[in-house]
Amino acid sequence: QKEVEQDPGPLSVPEGAIVSLNCTYSNSAFQYFMWYRQYSRKGPELLMYTYSSGNKEDGRFTAQVDKSSKYISLFIRDSQPSDSATYLCAIPLGTNAGKSTFGDGTTLTVKP
């Protein structure tokens, strides 16, 4: 079993829609949960991270962790064409942030 599984997509939504991107993980000891955005032909960029359970909001983006069900989500409100990208959930393994297990990514297209 992979340590983190991501809903594969792809997703195509109209502009203004609410988008939900989801991952599940297997190890209850994981504490940090990251979301990266990767535009085509670019490297990933960290969007936001959460620690333990709960929600974290940053503008139109909300990251949510449910440790009881080992489920992490990223919500995008009022989606824009500029949000079209691949979104990767990632969980650091230990104390080295670079040694993370990544989901396979969900490609999102927001149509004007």
Partner 1 sequence: DTEVTQTPKHLVMGMTNKKSLKCEQHMGHRAMYWYKQKAKKPPELMFVYSYEKLSINESVPSRFSPECPNSSLLNLHLHALQPEDSALYLCASSLNTGQGNEKLFFGSGTQLSVL
Residues at the contact surface with partner 1, assessed by CB under 8 A: 31-32, 34, 41-46, 49, 51, 88, 90, 92-100, 102-105
Least separation in angstroms between CB 41 and partner 1: 7
Of 5 and 17, which has the nearer Cβ to partner 1?
A: 5
Beta-carbon contacts of residue 55 (< 8 Å; ≥ 6 apart): 62, 63, 64, 65
Of 13 and 93, which has the nearer Cβ to partner 1?
A: 93
Distance (Å, whole) CA 18 – CA 64: 15
Q: What's 64-85 look like in SS3?
A: EEECCCCEEEEEECCCCHHHCE
Least separation in angstroms between CB 18 and partner 1: 25
Of 8 and 81, which has the nearer Cβ to partner 1?
A: 8
| CA–centroid distance for 31 within its chain | 15
